[in-house]
């Protein structure tokens, strides 16, 4: 299942296909590949593929999850089911061919291992620049001693004599309403169809063992909150020779004290003194990698944004980087010296006696600059 085909491709429709288009295409393909109609060797596989694609794309919720994350079966809830079993062909058979069908699952068929999910919390900058790390996950693996059979070395599981390997027993009951036949899992073999006489010493007959497995994980630069990384075949081991499931790493990103992130862009806020905003200044801005100088022009208003091009997050797909946006906030002074108060009064007073005298006006600014910087 590692190389699953795209569901849209399976149904031969575009990504923007309507629910009707999807249904129409599904009906055509289901008729074409139904194993009772099509006797080609791979018809059943194709039929299942079509049905699976339709199950996802015909459900709005599942479809949008698929559009975002690809092949993650939300039904599996990460750690359940997931062996491609659709409970026989009964339902669809009824739908198109008017009854019949109802296949039974072979209890000895290979079964794919469960998918696993691991949530990894990374630092803000680790998400931006990526990192390589080792994680330890508990998972079930096929037993090496018996190669998953559960039987002691040199022996083999034997076919159950009660159910003849089908894993199911028929129980006939005579009731006042007549004879009733119930089918239930074989009690002799617990529905597996096989009996292990001498159990493997390592796994005690289970065919699988719990392991703490160390796995190397590379977090690509530019991942963001909620991103999923799929490690194919690193989930739980399959049964009876089935393939292993996948491991999904879900990324959580810790908040940063100074930076915020939106997509590939970084946002931050820096305070400006009243004098810096009024007179202009060159200030130092921390970016993700270094400190850089930013020229703030005279007369900058509070809430103004400045853009530092290319100082954002490396793009996860493709080349280039986002930008850093710097919002300046002018801090109104709360405790002023007498001199500072005087200067502000002169500045804010009704045209004062200086009027439009440019020279005098500038000297107030010069004096203010000094007063507010403590020179
Ligand atoms: Zn049995
Ligand atoms: Zn074993």
Convert the pLDDT of each residue in 287-304 to its tens digit: 999 999 999 999 999 999
Distance (Å) from CA 195 to ligand 1 centroid: 7
Angstrom distance (rounded) from CA 295 to CA 349 = 29
In CATH, what class is 1-104?
mainly alpha
260-372 to CATH, choices 2.60.260.20, 3.40.50.300, 3.40.30.10, 2.40.50.100: 2.60.260.20
Same CATH topology for 1-104 and 260-372: the answer is: no
Ligand in nearest proximity to the CA of 191: 1
| Fold adopted by 106-142+205-254 | HSP40/DNAj peptide-binding domain (2.60.260)
Q: Check the annotation: does 186 bind a ligand.
A: yes
Domain boundaries, the chain: 1-104, 106-142+205-254, 158-195, 260-372
- Residue 358 in this model has a pLDDT that exceeds 70: no
Span 259-281, average pLDDT: 92
Angstrom distance (rounded) from CA 326 to CA 315 = 20
Angstrom distance (rounded) from CA 29 to CA 46 = 9
Rg (Cα) of the chain, in Å, rounded? Answer: 34
- Residue 88 in this model has a pLDDT that exceeds 50: no
> Which residues face 135 on adjacent strands?
215
- Residue 121 in this model has a pLDDT that exceeds 60: yes
Residue 326 or residue 363, greater confidence: 326
Task: Assign 112 to helix, strand or coil.
Answer: coil
Q: Check the annotation: does 268 bind a ligand.
A: no
> Which residues face 185 on adjacent strands?
168
pTM equals 0.56
Chain mean position to CA 152:
41
Q: For position 354, what pLDDT does the model report?
A: 44
pLDDT confidence tier of residue 11, bands split at 50, 70 and 90: very high
Q: Check the annotation: does 163 bind a ligand.
A: yes
> How does pLDDT run across 175-234, given as a tens digit for each residue?
787 888 888 889 998 888 889 999 999 999 888 899 999 999 999 999 999 999 999 999
Distance (Å) from CA 196 to ligand 1 centroid: 11
* Helix or strand run (H / E) with residue 282: strand 281-286
Angle at 311 between CA 310 and CA 312, to 5 degrees: 95
Asked if 330 and 235 count as a contact pair (C-beta separation under 8 A), the reply is no
Distances (CA, A) of 266 to 94, 199, 286, 288: 56, 59, 11, 9
Ligand in nearest proximity to the CA of 155: 2
Ligand in nearest proximity to the CA of 198: 2
- Residue 372 in this model has a pLDDT that exceeds 90: no
| Segment among 7-16, 32-41, 149-158 with least mean pLDDT | 32-41
Angstrom distance (rounded) from CA 51 to CA 328 = 56
Q: For position 174, what pLDDT does the model report?
A: 82
* Helix or strand run (H / E) with residue 255: none
- Residue 237 in this model has a pLDDT that exceeds 50: yes
């Amino acid at each position: 299942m590692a190389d699953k085909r795209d569901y849209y491709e399976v149904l031969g429709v575009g990504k923007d296909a309507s629910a009707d288009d999807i249904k129409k295409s599904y009906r055509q393909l289901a008729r074409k590949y139904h194993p009772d109609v099509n006797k080609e060797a791979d018809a059943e596989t194709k039929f299942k593929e079509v049905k699976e694609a339709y199950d996802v794309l015909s459900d709005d919720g599942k479809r949008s999850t698929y559009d975002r994350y690809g092949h993650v079966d939300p039904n599996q809830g990460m750690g359940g089911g997931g062996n491609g079993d659709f409970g026989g062909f009964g339902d669809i058979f009824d739908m198109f061919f008017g009854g019949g069908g109802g296949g039974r699952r072979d209890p000895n068929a290979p079964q794919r291992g469960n998918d696993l999910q691991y949530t990894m919390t990374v630092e803000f900058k680790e998400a931006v620049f990526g990192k390589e790390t080792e994680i330890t996950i508990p998972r079930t693996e096929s037993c090496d001693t018996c190669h998953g059979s559960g039987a002691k070395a040199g022996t083999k599981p034997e076919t159950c004599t009660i159910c003849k390997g089908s894993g199911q027993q028929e129980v006939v009951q005579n009731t006042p309403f007549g004879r009733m036949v119930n089918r239930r899992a074989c009690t002799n073999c617990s529905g597996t169809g096989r009996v292990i006489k001498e159990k493997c010493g390592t796994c005690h007959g289970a065919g699988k063992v719990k392991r703490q497995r160390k796995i190397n994980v590379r977090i690509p630069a530019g991942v963001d909150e909620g991103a999923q990384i799929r490690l194919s075949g690193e989930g739980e081991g399959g049964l009876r020779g089935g393939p292993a499931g996948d491991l999904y790493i879900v990324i959580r990103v810790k908040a940063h004290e100074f930076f915020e992130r939106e997509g590939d862009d970084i946002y931050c806020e820096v305070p400006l003194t009243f004098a810096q905003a009024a007179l202009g200044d060159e200030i130092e801005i921390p970016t993700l990698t270094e400190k850089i100088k930013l020229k703030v022009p005279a007369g900058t208003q509070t809430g103004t944004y400045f853009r530092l091009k290319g100082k954002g997050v490396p793009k996860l797909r493709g080349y280039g980087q986002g930008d850093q946006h710097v919002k300046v906030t002018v801090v109104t002074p709360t405790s002023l010296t007498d001199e500072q108060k005087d200067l502000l009064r002169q500045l804010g007073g009704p045209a004062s006696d200086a009027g439009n005298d440019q020279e005098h006006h500038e000297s107030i600014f010069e004096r203010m600059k000094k007063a507010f910087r403590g020179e």
